[in-house]
Amino acid sequence: MRRTRSASGSSSAPADVALLAVTYGHAPSRSARPWTGGLCSGLHHRREPRRRRASYPQFVANGCPRTPSINQLPPIAGDCGGRRLATTAWEDRSVLDLTAVRAAVAGSPLLAACRREPVSRTPVWFMRQAGRSLPEYRALREGTPMLAACRTPDLVTEITLQPVRRHGVDAAILFSDIVVPLVAAGLDIEIKPGVGPVVAHPIRTAADITALPRLEPDDVAFVAEAVRSLVGELGPVPLIGFAGAPFTLASYLVEGGPSKSHEHTKALMYGEPALWDELCRWLVDVTTTFLRVQAEAGASALQLFDSWAGALSEADYRASVQPHSAAVLAAIDPLGVPRIHFGVHTGELLAAMGEAGADVVGVDWRTPLDEAARRIGPGRAVQGNLDPAALFAPWEALAPRVRSVLAAGRAAEGHIFNLGHGVLPTTDPGVLTRVVELVHEESSAQ
């Protein structure tokens, strides 16, 4: 397997440990600039000579190579409710003051809910909020393959900002894909439209696992650049970084693509547990590196997606999966940002997922949040869990369901309103905006 290297080809410098020692409850420092109403006020950077942006790979769109500039992106299509984010006046984003970033977002409803503290309103964001449901996203992505878009910081920045502008959500989530770190490490993976990630050479033998390359921070330097750009644009709105959990990534690698039965994955897990653990330990390292890069660049929270964990029994999950998810969550704990852990079809796994060590456990729509909170136990907030399909119902049927989720969420020590899975591609964006407004209105009145 051939390694792909970053444009610089050099090793990244060690992180500034002092900057990373802040906790997500850190209060604004006395040196922080007071708010003046702009979304980016309060963020300041060390004065450095302006430098030209690093060059990006030229990606082909509609037969022509192009590197989109943020100033050349097409205008937003449709009504975005008049919301606009202030833009930064600085150019060199590599010297972002992480302490100022942490201070800017410390009082956000999202981070307060993660800390299980009182909130002025229930925070709300949506998984896959930056995606195909938005006409401006479809216009921007036209002709650009998914992985090419994920490797272009200006595109990532604009796509990530789109739902924040349009819906007024309480957090942005980085536009990326869970296979990005695997591709960056050198694996041959393609995201095929309508299929998902397809692995050219599935990983099934000891030799395959031994040959797996190490992911270096420089391999995902484009992600760090996008995150630095985003936190400068978002100001007090937190940015959530994310990665796939070891089991879900392992399933793609072993199966060679999406699977409903996971037969090859389970065969390896059951039949060759030592090899399974070796593969998962490699994935723990990859996932931890990917998440650390995002947090060190300014992400204010991190979500670990275990999309396929629901295919397992609780016993198998505890024996073969939970230890590896727990290893990732423990490794990123010193970064001082909240950790969210989400899976689908995981109602019977909620207690075990809570024990893995996240600050917040995401819940799909199949388990009411009050029951989920009981299963998860004390010391954790919950996130979720409106059925994504409910967004297609008439408003008079949808609104009571939104209120029901809010009511059930009050049984938890902290609640972040979200869907029970990602936004479906044909969802009406206007409905999402109405849901955000309803959540804010109902929860602020409590």
Q: Report the CATH number that the domain containing residue 176 is assigned in CATH.
A: 3.20.20.210
Residue 75 has pLDDT above 70, yes or no: no
The pair phi, psi for residue 195, each rounded to 5°, is -120, -55
Closest CA to 78 of 422, 430, 394, 427: 430
Contacts 24+ apart (CB under 8 A), 188-197: 188/1, 189/252, 190/147, 191/145, 191/146, 191/147, 195/257, 195/258, 196/257, 196/258, 197/252, 197/257, 197/258
Q: Tell me which residues are annotated as active site.
A: 128, 132, 141, 177, 252
What's residue 175's pLDDT? 98
In-domain check, residue 266: yes
In-domain check, residue 67: no
* Domain count across the chain: 1
Domain housing 168: 99-444
In-domain check, residue 252: yes
Identify any residues that bridge with 381 across adjacent strands, giving them in sequence order. 360
Q: Is the peptide bond before 62 cis (omega within 30 degrees of 0)?
A: no
Compute the distance between CA of residue 162 and CA of residue 150 in angstroms, rounded to an integer. 15
Compute the distance between CA of residue 324 and CA of residue 280 in angstroms, rounded to an integer. 7
What's residue 95's pLDDT? 56
- What pTM does this model have? 0.81
In-domain check, residue 370: yes
In-domain check, residue 262: yes
Compute the distance between CA of residue 29 and CA of residue 212 in angstroms, rounded to an integer. 43
In-domain check, residue 330: yes
Q: Which pLDDT band holds residue 134 (cuts at 50, 70, 90)? A: very high
pLDDT tens readout for residues 369-426: 999 999 999 999 999 999 999 999 999 999 999 999 999 999 999 999 999 999 999 9
What's residue 287's pLDDT? 99
Tokens of 199: 């692995």
Answer yes or no: are the C-beta atoms of 266 and 136 closer than 8 Å.
no
In-domain check, residue 90: no
Residue 138 has pLDDT above 70, yes or no: yes
In-domain check, residue 4: no
Compute the distance between CA of residue 247 and CA of residue 276 in angstroms, rounded to an integer. 10
